[in-house]
Structure 1
Amino acid sequence: MSNSTHRPLRLIVFAKAPLAGFAKTRLIPALGEEGAAALAAKMLRHTLQQCVQAQLGSVELCVAPEVEHDYWQSFPLPRGVYLSSQGGGDLGQRLWRAAARADGAGESVLLLGTDCPQLTAARLRAAASALRDNDAVVYPTRDGGYALLGLDRAEAVLFENIRWSTEVVAQQTRERLDQCGMRFEWLEMLVDIDEPQDLDFLPRRWGESL
C-alpha cells in the first residue's frame, strides 16, 4: 500500500551528545578528542538546520545520553525542534521504538543520523517525495550503511538482528524490505563522516575550520 493518503511526516534525528571521547571516536586519530567532538557538534547543528529548512513536518531530536543530561539541557534547540530520549537497547531497538512511535501517531517517518552533511534540505525533500509513492525510501552510504530510512509503515523486522556498523546494513535492510513485501526506492549513495578518510567529503568551507 503506497502513501496515497499522505500521512503527516515526522523527521527523527538520532544523535549522541558531541562530547570529547564520546562522539566520533573513530575520527580521534585525525582530529583529536576535542576536534572530533567539535565536528560532531557542527554536524548536529547542520543536520537540524537542514531538517527545519526542508519544512516537511515535525522535527524530533532523539538523543543519547537521555534528555536530562547537562549537554542537552543547555543545547540551543532550533525553533520547532523537540527532544526525546533514545532509551536503552541496541541501535535497532532504539530505531524501532522511534519508528513505532511515529507510526502509532499516524505519521510517516524519516529516520536519520547526524553523520552525513550531504543530507541537505533538498535531499530530505526528495526522500519525502519518493515516500509518497513507496512504503520505504533509503539513502545508502558508501560504507554499506544508510544515512536515512524513510517509512510509511513501521515493521520491527527491519531493525532486528541487523549487523549495525558493518558494511552489510543496507543490504540486510533491503532484504528485510523485500521480506515484508514493501515497495521501496533506493536513492543516491551518500557518504557518512566516520573515518579519517571520509573528511575529504566534508563541505569545502568546513575544512577551513577543522
Structure 2
Amino acid sequence: MSNAIIYFVKLPLIGYNKTRLQGFLPKEDIHHLSIYLLQETFKEICQTEADVFVYVSPAEKKLEIQSYLKIDEKNIYGQSEESHLGKRMSQAMQQIFKQGYDKVILLGCDLVDVNHLLLNRVIRMLDHEDVVLTPTLDGGYGIIGSRFFSPVMFDLETYSHDEVCQKTIKKIAEAGLSYALTETIRDLDTREDVVRFLSGDPNAVYFNQGEYNANFLIDKGKKIFRIALGSQMQLSNQIEYEFQVLKALAPTGVVPKVYECHPQTKLLGKGYLVEEYLPGRPLDYQTDLSIAAQLLAKIHSVDSEKIPHLIRAKFPFSVMYNEFLDMYSHYQSWTGRDPKVIELIDSLMQGLKKYSLRSELSNPCVINTELNSHNFLINPGEHSYIIDWEKPLVGEREQDIAHFLAPTTTLWKTNQLLTSSQIKEFIRDYNEVSGVKINTNKLKKYLHFTCLRGITWCSMAYVQYLESEKIKANDQSFQTIKRFISPAFLTRIEQYIKSLEEADL
C-alpha cells in the first residue's frame, strides 16, 4: 500500500508566522522559532514510511521553502488561495489522493511532539479506521489521516477555536465514517504554549512583561520562569549575566534565589532562568526609606571581586556622559524636535562640564543601577527584597543611591519628590549599617548626572514611541515620558539641580 504525508507549512517570513506571539517575542525570535519547528518536524516526517509533499503558503513563494527544507521541487505545492483553512486542507488532500495513494496524512508545522513513531502509528491505525486524528491540548488537532478522500472531514465553519477536534469528530461520525484518536500532542501558538513546553509545567501562567523580559509563574506559583527578550547592555548572554549575579548575591538574603539557567534554547535561541517567587509590595517613599537603606547596604557590602563577570566602568561619569550623548542624539536629529526642549536639555548638559569625567572608580561595589519603587518587594516586619537585576555593574554606591533618590526616579511611578531631610535620614540609616559611608559630595554629583540620564533616556524613548506607531491613549509610560521632556518639567529639574549645590546632606 502507498502512503503520503502532506506537510502544511507557512514559509518562514518575518512578521508572517506565529502572529499570536507578536507582542511577546521580538520578531527575530519568532522567526527563529518558526524555522526550528518547521525543520524539526520535517526531520521526523522524512523518517516515515511515506512519500512527502510540502504545501506552502504563500503559494507564489513556494520554492523558497527549499532554503529551509531539503525536498524535490516536484513535491512542492502552493496552498490554494482560499482564506478558509478547511478548504485549503481539503483541496490538498484531494489532490494527493488523486495521485493514487491509499493513505494520506496531513499535519501542520507548529507542533512540538511529532515524531516518526507517532506518524507511522497513524499510518498503521488507518488499516482499521477511516480517519485518524491526533488532538492538541488547545482543543484542535495537529494530524489528520484518512484512507480515502471525504470533504466532510474539513466541513467546519471556522477553525482556531477550542472545539475544532470535537466538531470534526462529530462531522466524521455523522457521515458514518469510523475514526480513532492518538495521544494528545502540543502545538505552540501562544506565549503560554512556549513556556509550558520549555518549563515542562503544563500549568505555567503569564505573570508580567517588561521591555526586556517576560515572566511566568510555574511550580504552583512558587517560582518565576524568566526569559530575557533583549539586553539594555547589548549582551549576548543577558540571562546568564543575571543568573550569575543573583547567585553571587544570594548570601545577602535580599534577592531571589535562582534554581537553574539555560543560556540558550534550540526553540528560541535565547535562554531563560528559574528563580524564586517572592511576596511583597512596591516601596513607599514615605514609610520605607529605612528598609531600602538597609537592603542596599547589604548589597553594597558584597565583595565585587568575587563576581568577576560583572562589567566594571573604570571612569563611571565618563560612561554615563557618553550614554547621555547617545540617547539624546535621537531627539536632537529628529525632525519633530521642540526647539525649547532642545534649549533646556542643552543647558542642563552644559552644566555637567563643571565636573571631571575622568574620576576613577573608588570603593567599588555591586550596584543595581535601576532602582525604583517597583524594584523593591517590601514586607514590613519581615524579609524585604530587591528584584529585577537586568543591568548590574561594579560601580560606586553613590550611583545606585542617586538613582534611587533622584526626582526622575521617584516621580516616574509616584508623585513623591524627596526632601533634603528625607535624604539626610536615608543617608544616616544607610551609614549606620554600612561598612563604607556615603560620600555626600559624590552623591550630589551623581544626582545631577542621574537627572540627565532620565531626561535623555526619555528624549530617546519619546522618539521611539512616536516612530513605532504603537501609542495608546492610556499608555501611562508614554504619558510620563512626554511629561519628563516638557519645558515645565525640565525647568523643574533645572531648579532641583541648582538646589543641590546648597543642600546640606
TM-score, structure 1 normalization: 0.88
Relative to structure 2, which stretch is displaced further, 7-16 or 156-165? 156-165
Please list every run of 5 or more consecutive structure 2 residues that lacks an aligned counterpart in the other structure: 201-264, 271-505
Which residue in 2 is equivalent to 1:189?
Answer: 184
Which residue in 2 is equivalent to 1:131?
Answer: 126
Which residue in 1 is equivalent to 2:22?
Answer: 28
Are the counterparts in 1 of residues 62 and 77 from structure 2 also a CA contact under 8 Å? no
Match of 1:114 among 96, 102, 109: 109
- Partners of 2:15 and 2:58 in 1: CA distance: 14
Deviation at 1:159, TM superposition (A): 1.2
Indicate yes or no: 2:95 matched with 1:101.
yes
Indicate yes or no: 2:79 matched with 1:86.
yes
- Partners of 1:168 and 1:197 in 2: CA distance: 19
Deviation at 1:70, TM superposition (A): 7.8
Are the counterparts in 1 of residues 129 and 179 from structure 2 also a CA contact under 8 Å? yes
Indicate yes or no: 2:71 matched with 1:75.
no
Give the secondary structure class of the aligned counterpart of 1:69.
helix
Match of 1:156 among 151, 164, 167: 151
1:96 corresponds to which letter in structure 2?
S
- Partners of 1:36 and 1:207 in 2: CA distance: 10
Cα deviation digits, residues 126-179 of structure 1 (max 9, x gap):
111111211110000011100000011111122123420111110111001101
Are the counterparts in 2 of residues 12 and 61 from structure 1 also a CA contact under 8 Å? yes
- Partners of 1:46 and 1:189 in 2: CA distance: 19
Indicate yes or no: 2:36 matched with 1:42.
yes
1:126 corresponds to which letter in structure 2?
R
1:166 corresponds to which letter in structure 2?
H
Which residue in 1 is equivalent to 2:57?
Answer: 64
Which residue in 1 is equivalent to 2:161?
Answer: 166
1:109 corresponds to which letter in structure 2?
V
Match of 2:46 among 39, 44, 52: 52
Are the counterparts in 2 of residues 12 and 59 from structure 1 also a CA contact under 8 Å? yes
Which residue in 2 is equivalent to 1:209?
Answer: 269
- Partners of 1:119 and 1:162 in 2: CA distance: 27
- Partners of 1:29 and 1:168 in 2: CA distance: 26
Which residue in 1 is equivalent to 2:11?
Answer: 17
Deviation at 1:207, TM superposition (A): 4.8
Are the counterparts in 2 of residues 28 and 35 from structure 1 also a CA contact under 8 Å? no
Are the counterparts in 2 of residues 12 and 112 from structure 1 also a CA contact under 8 Å? yes
Are the counterparts in 2 of residues 162 and 172 from structure 1 also a CA contact under 8 Å? no
Question: Residue 70 and residue 181 in structure 1: after superposition, are their counterparts in 2 closer, same or farther (change >3 A)?
Answer: closer
1:97 corresponds to which letter in structure 2?
Q
Are the counterparts in 2 of residues 47 and 117 from structure 1 also a CA contact under 8 Å? yes
- Partners of 1:144 and 1:131 in 2: CA distance: 22
Which residue in 1 is equivalent to 2:439?
Answer: none
Give the secondary structure class of the aligned counterpart of 2:192.
helix
Cα deviation digits, residues 85-130 of structure 1 (max 9, x gap):
1011111111001111122222111100011120111111111111
Deviation at 1:13, TM superposition (A): 0.6
- Partners of 2:164 and 2:65 in 1: CA distance: 32
Deviation at 1:203, TM superposition (A): 9.4
**Identical positions, percent:** 28
Greater RCO (Cα-Cα under 8 Å, separation 6 or more): 1
Are the counterparts in 1 of residues 7 and 52 from structure 2 also a CA contact under 8 Å? yes
Are the counterparts in 1 of residues 29 and 269 from structure 2 also a CA contact under 8 Å? no
- Partners of 2:113 and 2:72 in 1: CA distance: 22
Give the secondary structure class of the aligned counterpart of 2:133.
strand
Give the secondary structure class of the aligned counterpart of 2:15.
coil
Pick the structure with more helix per residue: 2
- Partners of 1:203 and 1:15 in 2: CA distance: 26
Deviation at 1:71, TM superposition (A): 7.0
Please list every run of 5 or more consecutive structure 1 residues that lacks an aligned counterpart in the other structure: 1-6
TM-score, structure 2 normalization: 0.38
- Partners of 2:85 and 2:267 in 1: CA distance: 30
Are the counterparts in 2 of residues 136 and 151 from structure 1 also a CA contact under 8 Å? yes
Larger radius of gyration: 2
